[in-house]
Structures are given as structure tokens and as C-alpha cells.
Amino acid sequence: MIEAHYHRRNLPHIYIPERSYFITFRLKGSLLMRKLYELRNILEAKHKAQSKAEVYEVNKKFFAEYDKSLDTANKGPKFLYVDKITDIIIGSFKYYDRKDYSLVCVCIMPNHVHVLFTLLEKSRSLDKIMQSVKRYSALQINRQLNRSGTVWQPESYDHVIRDEDEYFNIIRYILDNPIKAGLIDNWFEWKGTFISDYLKEMLE
């Protein structure tokens, strides 16, 4: 029997082993308070939703606006897209590959990160995994940039993949994010992208 893990910070999350998760997390201070209030108003519509389909559409609308806001942010920190910083973040995820999850792909944008992985049968809960990744990468990033203080916003956006079609749509979304943001023309030009060997074979 598959056990679902429930974790609550600002929003409820259900974590199911052996399922694939699409996660987005961002730098602290990367969104203005005004924009956060606008995003919160979108989520309020979930209380009026009458079905799972309606909840899904609200979540989809929320994330689209959330990611767009990060891609177009004119203010806030944007120090992630530096070679040594991207190496730290990708290395943090690769460290737990085959220990807690099977890593599929990562895309590091200037102020946020997208990642897709599949939890293993005996993995830790998703919140514990992300705490480990954030804690280690934050320590190394601060050392590299000779800075101190909080690096990551505590809350992450996570979405459990429903089926195979959505799985591949999410992969394409992650790889195309720098293109959508107007930063490159082809996904493979982005130095902040990592893809697993099996995904690389599929794309060749």
C-alpha cells in the first residue's frame, strides 16, 4: 500500500512515494509583496472549487502567473545563473539521485529553479529532501558569493504528475522555460539545464 505523506507550511501538500514531482523554488525576495498578494487572491478561488478538475485549473492558473512573474521580475536578486552557482545547485540535486529519487531534469533560471524527479519507494518525504537540497546549496552559494543570509524562499511550489502525457509536457515546459523568457533560442544552449542520461537519449 502506498503511503501518502502530508506536510503543511503555508499550503497543504501530499507526497506519494514512487510518483513524479515537478517542483519550483525561488530566491528569497524575488517577488514583490504586491505580486504575492495577487497570487494569493488566485489561490482563494480554490475554496469555491466544486471538483478536482476545478482545483486543478486554479492551480494551473496560479502557477502560470507565478512563473511568469519570476521570469519578468525587474527587481529582486538574480544571481543563480552563474556557472559556479549552477554547478552547486545541480550538484546538490545529483547528490540525492538514486538515494531519494530518480532525477529527470533541472533548469536554473536567474531567480528560480525548476526540477522534475521521481521519488523512490523508500525515499524521505519531499519536504525533507527539499530542505536538504536548499540547506546545502545555500551554504555553498553564500560561500561562493562571499555573502551571508537567507538564500531560498522557504516555500516551494510542487505538483504531482498525473499521467504520462503530463510528465512529458512538464519536461518540455522545464526545458523551454529559458526560451519562453527570451533568454535563448534553443533549450540546449542554456548552461543552467541538466537532463538525465535516459532523457538525453530520448531527445537525441
- Could you tell me the fold of the domain covering 5-27+77-203? Alpha-Beta Plaits (3.30.70)
pTM as predicted: 0.86
pLDDT digits (tens, 9 = 90+) for 97-155: 999 999 999 999 999 999 999 999 889 989 999 999 999 999 999 999 999 999 999 98
- Does residue 91 carry a pLDDT above 80? yes
**Domain residue ranges in the chain:** 5-27+77-203, 31-75
Nearest to 82 by CA among 194, 193, 192: 192
In 10 A of CB 37, how many CB atoms?
A: 9
User: C-alpha distances in angstroms, 36 versus 13, 42, 137?
Assistant: 19, 10, 25
Q: How do residues 190-201 score in pLDDT, each as one tens digit?
A: 999 999 998 888
Question: What does the pLDDT read at residue 10?
Answer: 47
Grid coordinates given for 142 = 553564500
What's the N-to-C CA distance of the chain in angstroms? 37
- pLDDT at res. 124: 92
